[in-house]
Structure 1
Amino acid sequence: MALARASSGLAYPGRFYAAASYVGLDGSDSSAKQVSSKFSNDTALLLYALYQQATVGPCSVPKPSTWNPVEQSKWKSWQGLGTMSSIEAMRLFVKILEEEDPGWYSRASNSVMEPALDYQINQNTKDEPVVENETSCVETKTISTENGPLAETQDKDVVSEHPNTVPVYDQWTAPQTSGQRPKARYEHGAAVIQDKMYIYGGNHNGRYLSDLHALDLKNWTWSRVETKVATEPLESSSPATLTPCAGHSLISWDSKLLSIGGHTKDPSESIQVKVFDPETSTWSTLKTYGKPPISRGGQSVTLVGKSLVIFGGQEAKRSLLNDLHILDLETMTWDEIDAVGVPPSPRSDHVAAVHAERYLLIFGGGSHATCFNDLHVLDLQTMEWSRPSQQGETPTPRAGHAGVTIGESWFIVGGGDNKSGVSDTVVLNMSTLAWSTVTSVQGRVPLASEGLSLVVSSYNGEDVLVAFGGYNGRYNNEVNVLKPSHKSTLQSKSMEAPVRDSVSAVHNGTTRDIESEIEASQEGRVREIVMDNVNHGSKVQANNGDTLETLKTEKEELEASLNKEKLQSLQLKQELAEAESRNTDLYKELQSVRGQLAAEQSRCFKLEVEVAELRQKLQTMETLQKELEIMQRQKAASEQAAAINARRQSSGGVWGWLSGGPQEMVDSP
Structure 2
Amino acid sequence: MASAKDSHPVKLARPNSTASEESKVVVVENGKMVDVQDKEITMEGLCSISSYDQWVWVAVSGPLPKPRYKHAAAVVQEKMYVFGGNHNGRYLGDIQVLDFKSFSWSKLEVQPQSEASELTGTTSLAPCAGHALVPWGNKILCLAGHSRGPTESLSVKEFDPQTCTWSTLRAYGRSPSSRGGQSVTLVGDTLVVFGGEGDGRSLLNDLHILDLETMTWDEFETKGTPPSPRSEHAAACYANRYLLVFGGGSHSTCFSDLHLLDMQTMEWSRPEHQGITPEPRAGHAGATVGENWFITGGGNNKKGVPETLVLNMSTFVWSVVTGLEGRAPPTSEGSSLVLHKVNGEDFLVSFGGYSGRYSNEVYALKSSRKSSVPSGQINEPETNGLASISMAANSSRGVIFEIEELQDEKTIKRADTSKTLLQAVKGEKNQIEEKLNQEELQSSRLKQELANVETKNVELTKELDLVRNQLSAEEARASRLEKEVSDLQQRLQKMEALEKESELLRLEKDADSDDSSSGSNQRPGDRGFWRWNG
Letter in 2 for 1:389: E
SS in 2 for 1:317: helix
Superimposed CA distance per residue, residues 135-186 of structure 1 (whole angstroms, 9 cap, x where no aligned partner)? 76579xxxxxxxxxxxxxxxxxxxxx95651110011111110001110000
2:311 corresponds in structure 1 to 428
Find the partner of 2:290 among 393, 407, 410.
407
Work out the CA distance in 2 between the residues paired with 1:163 and 1:306: 33
SS in 2 for 1:338: coil
Find the partner of 1:192 among 75, 80, 85.
75
1:257 corresponds in structure 2 to 140
Shift, 1:395, TM fit:
1.1
Does 2:367 align with 1:484?
yes
Shift, 1:199, TM fit:
0.4
Letter in 2 for 1:226: E
Superimposed CA distance per residue, residues 58-93 of structure 1 (whole angstroms, 9 cap, x where no aligned partner)? xxxxxxxxxxxxxxxxxxxxxxxxxxxxxxxxxxxx
Letter in 1 for 2:63: Q
| Aligned 8 A contact 2:284 2:296 in 1 | yes
Superimposed CA distance per residue, residues 493-532 of structure 1 (whole angstroms, 9 cap, x where no aligned partner)? 67637xxxxxxxxxxxxxxxxxxxxxxxxxxxxxx97483
SS in 1 for 2:85: strand
Letter in 2 for 1:431: S
| Aligned 8 A contact 2:329 2:354 in 1 | yes
Q: Cα–Cα, structure 1 residues 163 and 303, in superposed 2: closer, same or farther, change >3 Å?
A: closer
1:457 corresponds in structure 2 to 340
Does 2:198 align with 1:315?
yes
Letter in 2 for 1:397: P
Q: Cα–Cα, structure 1 residues 486 and 306, in superposed 2: closer, same or farther, change >3 Å?
A: same
Q: Cα–Cα, structure 1 residues 388 and 132, in superposed 2: closer, same or farther, change >3 Å?
A: closer
Does 2:442 align with 1:532?
no
1:133-148 equivalences under 5 Å are 137=21
2:99 corresponds in structure 1 to 216
SS in 2 for 1:294: coil
Q: Cα–Cα, structure 1 residues 386 and 228, in superposed 2: closer, same or farther, change >3 Å?
A: same
Superimposed CA distance per residue, residues 440-489 of structure 1 (whole angstroms, 9 cap, x where no aligned partner)? 00112222211000000012331100000001111111000000112256
Find the partner of 1:384 among 262, 267, 277.
267
| Aligned 8 A contact 1:217 1:459 in 2 | no
Find the partner of 1:496 among 396, 408, 415.
396
Superimposed CA distance per residue, residues 14-73 of structure 1 (whole angstroms, 9 cap, x where no aligned partner)? xxxxxxxxxxxxxxxxxxxxxxxxxxxxxxxxxxxxxxxxxxxxxxxxxxxxxxxxxxxx
Shift, 1:350, TM fit:
0.4
* Structure showing greater relative contact order (alpha-carbon pairs closer than 8 Å, 6 or more residues apart): 1
1:360 corresponds in structure 2 to 243
Q: Which has the higher strand share?
A: 2
Does 2:218 align with 1:335?
yes
Shift, 1:249, TM fit:
0.3
SS in 1 for 2:217: strand
Say how many residue pairs are matched: 356
SS in 2 for 1:245: coil
In structure 2, the gaps of 5 or more residues are 1-8, 14-18, 24-42, 376-392, 398-408, 418-534
Superimposed CA distance per residue, residues 207-228 of structure 1 (whole angstroms, 9 cap, x where no aligned partner)? 1111001000111100001112
1:170 corresponds in structure 2 to 53
| Aligned 8 A contact 2:110 2:124 in 1 | no
| Aligned 8 A contact 1:468 1:479 in 2 | yes
1:611-650 equivalences under 5 Å are none
Letter in 2 for 1:383: M
Superimposed CA distance per residue, residues 385-416 of structure 1 (whole angstroms, 9 cap, x where no aligned partner)? 00010010021100000001011010110001
Shift, 1:262, TM fit:
0.3
Does 2:121 align with 1:238?
yes
Find the partner of 1:301 among 181, 184, 189.
184
Find the partner of 1:375 among 237, 241, 258.
258
Q: Cα–Cα, structure 1 residues 176 and 325, in superposed 2: closer, same or farther, change >3 Å?
A: same
| Aligned 8 A contact 1:163 1:176 in 2 | yes
Work out the CA distance in 2 between the residues paired with 1:494 and 1:171: 31
Does 2:175 align with 1:292?
yes
Q: Cα–Cα, structure 1 residues 397 and 133, in superposed 2: closer, same or farther, change >3 Å?
A: closer
Q: Cα–Cα, structure 1 residues 191 and 489, in superposed 2: closer, same or farther, change >3 Å?
A: closer
| Aligned 8 A contact 1:229 1:284 in 2 | no
Structure with max Cα Rg? 2
2:88 corresponds in structure 1 to 205
Work out the CA distance in 2 between the residues paired with 1:468 and 1:425: 15
Find the partner of 1:325 among 205, 208, 219.
208
Letter in 2 for 1:289: Y
| Aligned 8 A contact 2:178 2:198 in 1 | yes
1:145-156 equivalences under 5 Å are none
Shift, 1:237, TM fit:
3.9
Q: Cα–Cα, structure 1 residues 224 and 241, in superposed 2: closer, same or farther, change >3 Å?
A: closer
Shift, 1:305, TM fit:
1.1
Work out the CA distance in 1 between the residues paired with 2:88 and 2:20: 38
Q: Which has the higher helix share?
A: 1
| Aligned 8 A contact 1:431 1:495 in 2 | no
| Aligned 8 A contact 2:327 2:355 in 1 | yes
1:72 corresponds in structure 2 to none
| Aligned 8 A contact 1:356 1:495 in 2 | no
2:302 corresponds in structure 1 to 419
Work out the CA distance in 2 between the residues paired with 1:178 and 1:224: 12
Shift, 1:355, TM fit:
0.5
Find the partner of 2:64 among 169, 174, 181.
181
| Aligned 8 A contact 2:79 2:98 in 1 | yes
| Aligned 8 A contact 2:45 2:102 in 1 | no
Work out the CA distance in 1 between the residues paired with 2:206 and 2:161: 32
Work out the CA distance in 2 between the residues paired with 1:489 and 1:326: 26
Letter in 1 for 2:413: D
| Aligned 8 A contact 1:187 1:247 in 2 | yes
Q: Cα–Cα, structure 1 residues 489 and 261, in superposed 2: closer, same or farther, change >3 Å?
A: closer
1:247 corresponds in structure 2 to 130
Work out the CA distance in 2 between the residues paired with 1:235 and 1:373: 41
SS in 2 for 1:284: strand
SS in 2 for 1:276: strand
Q: Cα–Cα, structure 1 residues 532 and 233, in superposed 2: closer, same or farther, change >3 Å?
A: closer
| Aligned 8 A contact 1:186 1:452 in 2 | yes
Shift, 1:131, TM fit:
9.8
SS in 2 for 1:447: helix
1:501-580 equivalences under 5 Å are 530=411, 532-533=413-414
SS in 2 for 1:426: strand
Q: TM-score, normalised by structure 1?
A: 0.51
| Aligned 8 A contact 2:130 2:146 in 1 | yes
| Aligned 8 A contact 1:138 1:163 in 2 | no
In structure 1, the gaps of 5 or more residues are 1-129, 140-160, 498-527, 537-669
Q: Cα–Cα, structure 1 residues 229 and 376, in superposed 2: closer, same or farther, change >3 Å?
A: farther
SS in 1 for 2:91: strand
| Aligned 8 A contact 1:229 1:242 in 2 | no
Q: Cα–Cα, structure 1 residues 408 and 233, in superposed 2: closer, same or farther, change >3 Å?
A: same
Letter in 1 for 2:148: K
Q: Cα–Cα, structure 1 residues 163 and 376, in superposed 2: closer, same or farther, change >3 Å?
A: closer
Q: Cα–Cα, structure 1 residues 491 and 261, in superposed 2: closer, same or farther, change >3 Å?
A: closer
Percent of pairs with identical residues: 58
Letter in 2 for 1:432: T
